[in-house]
Amino acid sequence: MGKIKNDPEMSGKGMAIAGIILGFLGLAQSILIIIGAVAYFWIIQPTSLMPLSCDIRGRLDCIEAPVFGRDTATIKVKNIMGTDITVTRLLGDATSDCATDNDINDIAIKDGESAVIVYKAAKPFSKDGRVRCKFDIEFVMSNMGATNTATAYLTGKAS
Protein backbone atom coordinates (compact mmCIF):
# COMPACT_ATOMS: atom_id res chain seq x y z
CA MET A 1 0.00 0.00 0.00
CA GLY A 2 1.12 3.43 -0.76
CA LYS A 3 0.82 6.50 1.34
CA ILE A 4 -1.43 9.30 0.17
CA LYS A 5 0.44 12.54 0.29
CA ASN A 6 -1.23 15.82 1.18
CA ASP A 7 -1.19 18.45 -1.52
CA PRO A 8 -0.50 21.85 0.06
CA GLU A 9 -2.60 23.61 -2.62
CA MET A 10 -5.77 21.65 -1.62
CA SER A 11 -5.56 22.58 2.07
CA GLY A 12 -9.02 23.60 3.43
CA LYS A 13 -10.87 23.10 0.15
CA GLY A 14 -12.55 19.86 1.27
CA MET A 15 -14.61 21.73 3.86
CA ALA A 16 -15.65 24.28 1.24
CA ILE A 17 -16.79 21.53 -1.13
CA ALA A 18 -18.70 19.80 1.70
CA GLY A 19 -20.40 23.12 2.56
CA ILE A 20 -21.50 23.62 -1.05
CA ILE A 21 -22.91 20.08 -1.26
CA LEU A 22 -24.80 20.46 2.04
CA GLY A 23 -26.16 23.82 0.87
CA PHE A 24 -27.55 22.26 -2.31
CA LEU A 25 -29.10 19.39 -0.30
CA GLY A 26 -30.97 21.92 1.87
CA LEU A 27 -32.16 23.78 -1.24
CA ALA A 28 -33.30 20.53 -2.88
CA GLN A 29 -35.23 19.57 0.27
CA SER A 30 -36.97 22.97 0.34
CA ILE A 31 -37.95 22.66 -3.32
CA LEU A 32 -39.43 19.19 -2.72
CA ILE A 33 -41.47 20.50 0.23
CA ILE A 34 -42.82 23.37 -1.89
CA ILE A 35 -43.73 21.00 -4.75
CA GLY A 36 -45.51 18.70 -2.27
CA ALA A 37 -47.49 21.57 -0.75
CA VAL A 38 -48.55 22.85 -4.18
CA ALA A 39 -49.64 19.37 -5.24
CA TYR A 40 -51.54 18.76 -2.00
CA PHE A 41 -53.38 22.08 -1.73
CA TRP A 42 -53.97 23.09 -5.36
CA ILE A 43 -53.92 19.95 -7.47
CA ILE A 44 -55.05 17.04 -5.29
CA GLN A 45 -57.50 18.97 -3.03
CA PRO A 46 -57.12 17.78 0.57
CA THR A 47 -60.86 17.14 0.91
CA SER A 48 -60.63 14.42 -1.75
CA LEU A 49 -58.26 12.51 0.54
CA MET A 50 -60.61 12.80 3.52
CA PRO A 51 -62.30 9.55 4.41
CA LEU A 52 -66.04 9.21 4.75
CA SER A 53 -66.96 7.94 8.16
CA CYS A 54 -70.11 7.13 10.05
CA ASP A 55 -70.04 6.09 13.68
CA ILE A 56 -73.15 5.73 15.81
CA ARG A 57 -72.82 5.39 19.58
CA GLY A 58 -75.72 3.28 20.74
CA ARG A 59 -77.45 0.17 19.48
CA LEU A 60 -77.77 1.35 15.89
CA ASP A 61 -75.21 0.54 13.22
CA CYS A 62 -74.15 2.55 10.18
CA ILE A 63 -74.07 0.13 7.26
CA GLU A 64 -73.00 2.50 4.45
CA ALA A 65 -70.83 5.58 4.18
CA PRO A 66 -72.71 8.85 4.67
CA VAL A 67 -73.77 10.89 1.64
CA PHE A 68 -73.63 14.67 1.97
CA GLY A 69 -75.76 16.79 -0.34
CA ARG A 70 -75.99 20.57 -0.52
CA ASP A 71 -77.78 20.75 2.84
CA THR A 72 -78.45 17.13 3.81
CA ALA A 73 -76.60 14.27 5.43
CA THR A 74 -77.98 10.84 4.52
CA ILE A 75 -77.11 7.65 6.39
CA LYS A 76 -78.35 4.09 6.27
CA VAL A 77 -78.70 2.57 9.72
CA LYS A 78 -79.40 -0.95 10.92
CA ASN A 79 -81.39 -1.66 14.08
CA ILE A 80 -79.41 -4.02 16.34
CA MET A 81 -81.44 -3.27 19.49
CA GLY A 82 -83.17 -6.60 19.78
CA THR A 83 -86.57 -4.89 19.46
CA ASP A 84 -88.41 -2.72 16.94
CA ILE A 85 -87.86 1.05 17.20
CA THR A 86 -89.37 4.23 15.81
CA VAL A 87 -87.05 7.18 15.06
CA THR A 88 -88.86 10.40 16.03
CA ARG A 89 -86.35 13.30 15.96
CA LEU A 90 -82.80 14.27 15.06
CA LEU A 91 -81.19 16.60 17.60
CA GLY A 92 -78.31 18.67 16.20
CA ASP A 93 -75.14 19.55 18.09
CA ALA A 94 -74.17 23.24 18.15
CA THR A 95 -70.45 22.42 17.83
CA SER A 96 -70.81 20.64 14.48
CA ASP A 97 -72.01 21.44 10.95
CA CYS A 98 -75.33 19.82 11.91
CA ALA A 99 -76.44 22.28 14.56
CA THR A 100 -80.24 22.31 14.23
CA ASP A 101 -82.94 19.94 15.43
CA ASN A 102 -85.06 18.09 12.86
CA ASP A 103 -88.61 16.98 13.50
CA ILE A 104 -89.00 14.16 10.99
CA ASN A 105 -91.78 11.83 9.98
CA ASP A 106 -91.54 8.80 12.23
CA ILE A 107 -89.32 6.09 10.76
CA ALA A 108 -90.16 2.58 11.96
CA ILE A 109 -87.24 0.14 11.89
CA LYS A 110 -87.85 -3.52 12.72
CA ASP A 111 -85.20 -5.42 14.65
CA GLY A 112 -82.38 -6.51 12.32
CA GLU A 113 -83.61 -4.33 9.43
CA SER A 114 -82.28 -1.05 8.07
CA ALA A 115 -83.65 2.34 7.07
CA VAL A 116 -82.40 5.58 5.54
CA ILE A 117 -82.24 8.66 7.77
CA VAL A 118 -81.86 12.13 6.23
CA TYR A 119 -80.66 15.04 8.38
CA LYS A 120 -81.58 18.48 6.98
CA ALA A 121 -79.07 21.20 7.87
CA ALA A 122 -80.20 24.77 8.62
CA LYS A 123 -77.63 26.25 6.23
CA PRO A 124 -76.04 24.66 3.15
CA PHE A 125 -72.70 22.92 3.43
CA SER A 126 -69.93 24.55 1.38
CA LYS A 127 -69.49 22.71 -1.93
CA ASP A 128 -66.58 20.26 -1.85
CA GLY A 129 -65.92 21.36 1.73
CA ARG A 130 -65.31 19.17 4.73
CA VAL A 131 -68.43 18.33 6.74
CA ARG A 132 -68.42 17.15 10.35
CA CYS A 133 -71.82 16.32 11.72
CA LYS A 134 -72.82 15.24 15.17
CA PHE A 135 -76.45 14.69 16.05
CA ASP A 136 -78.55 12.55 18.33
CA ILE A 137 -81.05 10.12 16.84
CA GLU A 138 -84.04 10.10 19.17
CA PHE A 139 -86.10 6.91 19.06
CA VAL A 140 -88.75 4.98 20.96
CA MET A 141 -88.35 1.26 21.64
CA SER A 142 -91.56 -0.67 20.93
CA ASN A 143 -91.30 -2.92 23.98
CA MET A 144 -90.61 -0.12 26.49
CA GLY A 145 -92.17 3.06 25.17
CA ALA A 146 -89.27 5.06 26.62
CA THR A 147 -87.41 7.62 24.51
CA ASN A 148 -83.71 6.87 23.94
CA THR A 149 -80.94 8.47 21.90
CA ALA A 150 -77.98 7.28 19.88
CA THR A 151 -75.29 9.79 18.86
CA ALA A 152 -74.19 9.84 15.20
CA TYR A 153 -70.75 11.16 14.17
CA LEU A 154 -70.36 11.74 10.42
CA THR A 155 -67.47 13.12 8.37
CA GLY A 156 -67.12 13.56 4.65
CA LYS A 157 -67.24 15.97 1.73
CA ALA A 158 -70.28 17.94 0.62
CA SER A 159 -71.23 17.62 -3.03
The string of pLDDT tens digits covering residues 38-56 is 877 777 666 566 678 999 9
Residue 146: the pLDDT is 85
Residue 49: the pLDDT is 62
Q: Do both 67 and 87 map to the same domain?
A: yes
Q: Which residue has the higher pLDDT, 70 or 41?
A: 70
Q: Do both 35 and 56 map to the same domain?
A: no
Rounded Cα distance, 137 and 121, in Å: 14
Q: Do both 38 and 66 map to the same domain?
A: no
Q: Do both 75 and 18 map to the same domain?
A: no
Residue 131 covered by a domain = yes
Structural domains counted in the chain: 2
Residues 6 or more apart whose Cβ sits within 8 Å of residue 149:
58, 91, 136, 137, 138, 139
What pLDDT digit, counting tens, does each position of 74-84 carry? 999 999 999 99
Residue 75 covered by a domain = yes
